[in-house]
Structure 1
């Protein structure tokens, strides 16, 4: 597991990468489907991970049909998630080590997520991580969401780095494609969706957790 070079900045996805929130989203989506009188297959939910709401809205309508009350379902999903995530999602393994390493190396870091700024603030505050990221790019900041490169390109700009010199850390196929399209070195740390050959071909390597990523950065550090 090696990196091609020392990164000049690191861009993190949030859900499923920094926080164990994708499992909460999955369970909340199931709750919402039951309330809505339908069933959400796992394959459909997994196709939504890392996507933007307009794209995911289209995926839900493609599955359930054009007469599906998708906006009502989305509102139910949000309420169910709020209940399940009231205490804040758990940190994923290795987050603390990664941030401490970036501090010691003087590397800037950003979050690039399809979630809202409010969700980012809530998750960071729950773990005392306010101020640990130099920039946050969230829903509403870009014209095109993942798998388009826009979130990653903007994140690099906001930390004053050239995108091609940055390392992107992602858990989802949509995110991996977005980061690769931005010209970044990519490491996938899978959460609910395993790495397929298509994602592996775009990554420097696939890591079990952020501890492994930290070791790879140390190996190329000056």
Structure 2
């Protein structure tokens, strides 16, 4: 595949792309649902993927009622999530290979995520990857979350590279919408959410994993 513009930087999503956190968070949310007497369906969980926390609160109240203690629910969910991380957190296939290629090509890279900075720092430290990213754009660093383009525009600005020369890598529908709206060359690497017709229109390509993305980038002259 030939990218329409030279790739001068790469902006990664985090959850579901670099780390297998979405599957772990699904378990945590099911446990929090049991604690609060509600059943969280797979479809509803899928609708939350890629959204910032404040939008998640709104959607929880819309799903379970205005009086539902959404903030307490998410606190409970994060408690379960934290308890699962040490044993369940996994790096996604191809992460190290992709970063090695970027090192060889001296291409800057950033993370643009809906997660809070503390979560980013924890996950990167867990795998010894903190030094391998030039910028971190996390929840609170931008005025509007995904699917708004702000997270990716902030990522491009932090790297000093025009959005049209950035390769954006995403697993979620809202993330693909965000990156595409920012004007980035976007590749979707599906995790829990399959690629839809809309995603195939917005993304340059749908890749099986980051190894496939590495191979695509390696073929660029």
Q: Same fold per TM (> 0.5)?
A: yes
Local SS of the residue matching 1:25: helix
Contact 1:88 1:126 in 2 (8 A): no
Question: How far apart, CA to CA, are the structure 2 residues paired with 1:112 and 1:177?
Answer: 13
Runs of 4+ that moved beyond 2 A: 1-6
Contact 2:144 2:150 in 1 (8 A): yes
Where structure 1 has 5 or more consecutive residues not aligned to the other structure, the ranges are: none
Q: Structure 1, residues 106-155: CA drift from partner, whole Å, max 9, x if none?
A: 10000000001111111111111121000000011011000000010001
Q: Please say which of residues 87-96 and 34-43 is displaced more in the overlay.
A: 87-96
Contact 1:87 1:126 in 2 (8 A): no
Shift of the alpha carbon at 1:4? 2.3
Contact 2:5 2:164 in 1 (8 A): no
Q: Which residue of 2 aligns with 1:18?
A: 18
Q: Which residue of 1 aligns with 2:160?
A: 160
Q: Which residue of 2 aligns with 1:41?
A: 41
Aligned residues: CA RMSD: 1.0
Q: Which residue of 1 aligns with 2:98?
A: 98
Question: How far apart, CA to CA, are the structure 1 residues paired with 2:162 and 2:87?
Answer: 37
Shift of the alpha carbon at 1:38? 1.1
Question: How far apart, CA to CA, are the structure 2 residues paired with 1:136 and 1:215?
Answer: 25
Q: How many residue pairs align between the two structures?
A: 221
Contact 1:2 1:204 in 2 (8 A): no
Where structure 2 has 5 or more consecutive residues not aligned to the other structure, the ranges are: none
Q: With structure 2 as the length reference, what TM-score do the two structures score?
A: 0.97
Question: How far apart, CA to CA, are the structure 2 residues paired with 1:39 and 1:107?
Answer: 44
Q: Which residue of 2 aligns with 1:6?
A: 6
